[in-house]
């Protein structure tokens, strides 16, 4: 591989010729393929859900993302979650995070809070 003279202080990329096959240009110092000019498609970041914090006197604050379980189960916001999807989420069919959220919502602190609030009405 012949080294070319520096032009304007920048080392050029070098193509290697191996018989009939020409290798892609490589950076002379690192021996890695030269960077391509194609740009990756811009990824759109989803909006983060509103984080809710429930504070009680003398208790550890509870934090959760509002509507995250609905989104994970594929149910639109504002509609009740169907019982078959609730049971599947509690079994862990939608993954460990969905199971954690389902237990929190249907058997844990949120469920107890809803039941307590319903008694007061």
Q: Output the tens digit of pLDDT for each of the chain's 121 residues.
A: 555 555 555 555 555 555 556 666 666 666 555 555 555 555 544 555 788 888 888 888 988 899 999 999 999 988 999 999 999 999 999 999 999 999 999 998 888 887 788 887 7
* Domains identified in the chain, total number: 1
Whether 42 is covered by a domain: the verdict is: no
Asked whether residue 36 is domain-assigned, the answer is: no
pLDDT given for residue 37 in this prediction: 54
C-alpha dist (Å) from residue 36 to 22, 24, 28, 116: 17, 11, 16, 61
Q: Residue 115: inside a domain, yes or no?
A: yes
Residue 73 to residues 3, 28, 62, 105, 108, Cα–Cα distance (Å): 60, 52, 22, 13, 18
Q: What is the pTM of this model?
A: 0.55
Give me the pLDDT at residue 56, please. 83
Which range of residues forms the domain containing residue 65?
Answer: 51-120
23 located within any domain: no
User: CA distances (Å), 44 to each of 14, 35, 41, 88, 110, in order?
Assistant: 36, 24, 9, 30, 32
Whether 107 maps to a domain, the answer reads: yes
Q: What is the pLDDT of residue 11?
A: 56
């Amino acid at each position: 591989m012949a080294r070319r003279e520096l032009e304007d202080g920048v080392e050029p990329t070098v193509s290697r010729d191996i018989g009939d096959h020409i290798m892609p240009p490589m950076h002379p110092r690192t021996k890695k393929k030269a960077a391509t000019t194609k740009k990756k498609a811009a990824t759109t970041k989803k909006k983060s859900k509103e984080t809710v914090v429930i504070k009680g006197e003398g208790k550890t604050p509870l934090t959760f993302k509002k509507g995250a379980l609905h989104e994970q189960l594929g149910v639109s916001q504002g509609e009740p979650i169907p019982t078959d999807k609730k049971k599947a989420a509690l079994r862990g069919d939608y993954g460990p995070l969905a199971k954690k959220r389902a237990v929190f919502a249907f058997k844990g602190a949120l469920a107890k809070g809803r039941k307590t609030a319903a008694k007061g009405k």
